[in-house]
Structure 1
Amino acid sequence: MDFGKMVGDSFGYAKEGLVGKWAKWILMIISCIIFPLIMGYILRVYRGETPAPELKDWGSMFIDGIKLFIVGLIYAIPIIIIEIVVIGSAVVTGAMTQAYGNTDPSAILGMIGGVLFGVLILLIVSIIIGLVVATAVVRFARTNSFGEAFNFSAIFAHIGKIGFVSYLIALIIMMIILCIIEVICIMIPVVGMVILFILLPILVLFEARYLTLLYDSAGTAA
């Protein structure tokens, strides 16, 4: 898998779709605020539309966005449940520590260890779900079927065609690129968050195109 080519193609896709098309850029910024719109637009990218699709058929785009949101929400349920348990445990631990101080340090340490273990489980589950979702959302876009978005045997078979190691490396590269851009923007005093907000359409198109190319690489994977 040519990771450099995927990165270049994705940025080129975003550049061609937005640079010089300032009205479209502004509309995409607005769509990022009304999140179902941008999620519906992303589905069009997942379907392989080239070049980057125009913003039109707003009603259809909004409905598609709601569907994608539902898929994401269902996948997030295990993470939300674990988060609630971990946060609840942390609150109880904090309350016990404050109430009893050092009267029973072994019990307090045990509770703290339980919270840390919960955090570790949360991290592992989040990573696993993230790996699955990266393929599931594109599969949903291509089939327009909620059932296929949760067809785990087909999802893992598709990832297997790409190659689990290549798939993981590709996602790590994407996350590193996005994180670097976001951190650089945040570090700029005063206007950093504004710059990041303006760049959101570029980042959205880059990520959507990148995941599309990753999904389609199964057809050419060795």
Structure 2
Amino acid sequence: MDYVRYLNESFDYTKEALWGRWVRWLLLLIASILFPFIYGYSVRVMSGAKPAPEPEGWIGLFIDGIKMIIISLVYTIPVYVLAAVSLLAYLVPVSSTTTPAGTSSGGLLSPELSIVVVLAILVLFVVAIIVCGILATFGVARFARTGRMGDAFRIGTLRDHIGRVGWLDVFIALVVLTVVIAIVQFVLMFIPVVGWFLLFLLSPAFIIFASRYIALVYESAPAPA
């Protein structure tokens, strides 16, 4: 997967979408404050629209933004379930301590075994975050392409598509995207006086850039019917 090309194409797309188009930029700044609207615009960018679409049809933007939020939240459910299990497993050693008299308090697991269980669940937790994050990304992108919210939860179809692209390639692509945006935002934050304002001013650019990048990753292999 050509990550550098995707970054360059996403940058050019974002530049064309905003540079010199100050009214569009202002409207997207307003949409960023009313975040369901900017998420709805993100869905339109991920639909493969080229050049970048105008921010119009605001009711549709809002509805698509809400749908994107719902899709993302649904995919976090397994992560929260594992987090709850991890917390319970962590609390088990508390009941497995030894009393001052040297007798066991009767815990369900020994402290050593509890640590092993916690570590195993933490590994599962990390894997779940990665898998659910990738599925959510492709789910939102598929919803953007078809316009049908149910398509975002066709796990088998999403799994097949991700498999065609390559799970590792998708993971690396998303890491690259995250790191690039984080570095730029980190640099902006440390500009005296105007850093935070620039961060806000460029928020539509970050959204468009990320959405176009995800669209390119999604398109890197044909989607199953």
1:113-124 mapped onto 2 (5 Å cutoff): 119-124=122-127
C-alpha separation in 2, matches of 1:214 and 1:15:
19
CA RMSD across the alignment: 3.2
Provide the identity percentage. 36
- Deviation at 1:188? 3.1
**Aligned twin of 2:16:** 16
**Aligned twin of 2:200:** 197
1:32-181 mapped onto 2 (5 Å cutoff): 32-84=32-84, 119-181=122-184
C-alpha separation in 2, matches of 1:186 and 1:109:
44
Number of residue-to-residue matches in the alignment = 217
**Offset from partner CA, 1:126-146 (integer Å, 9 cap, x none):** 111111122111111112223
**Aligned twin of 1:211:** 214
Gapped regions of structure 2 (runs ≥ 5): 105-109
**Offset from partner CA, 1:55-95 (integer Å, 9 cap, x none):** 111011111111111111111122233445556777x69x9
Distance 1:112 1:179, change over 3 A: farther
TM-score normalised by length of structure 1: 0.81
- Deviation at 1:170? 1.8
C-alpha separation in 2, matches of 1:12 and 1:111:
52
C-alpha separation in 2, matches of 1:187 and 1:109:
45
- Secondary structure of 1:218's aligned partner: coil
Distance 1:86 1:7, change over 3 A: same
TM-score normalised by length of structure 2: 0.80
Bigger Rg, structure 1 or 2: 2
Indicate the structure with greater helix content.
1
C-alpha separation in 1, matches of 2:27 and 2:197:
16
- Deviation at 1:25? 1.3
Counterpart contact for 2:46–2:215, Cα < 8 Å: yes
Write the letter of the residue equivalent to 1:17: A
C-alpha separation in 1, matches of 2:60 and 2:41:
10
Distance 1:33 1:89, change over 3 A: farther
Gapped regions of structure 1 (runs ≥ 5): none
- Secondary structure of 1:219's aligned partner: coil
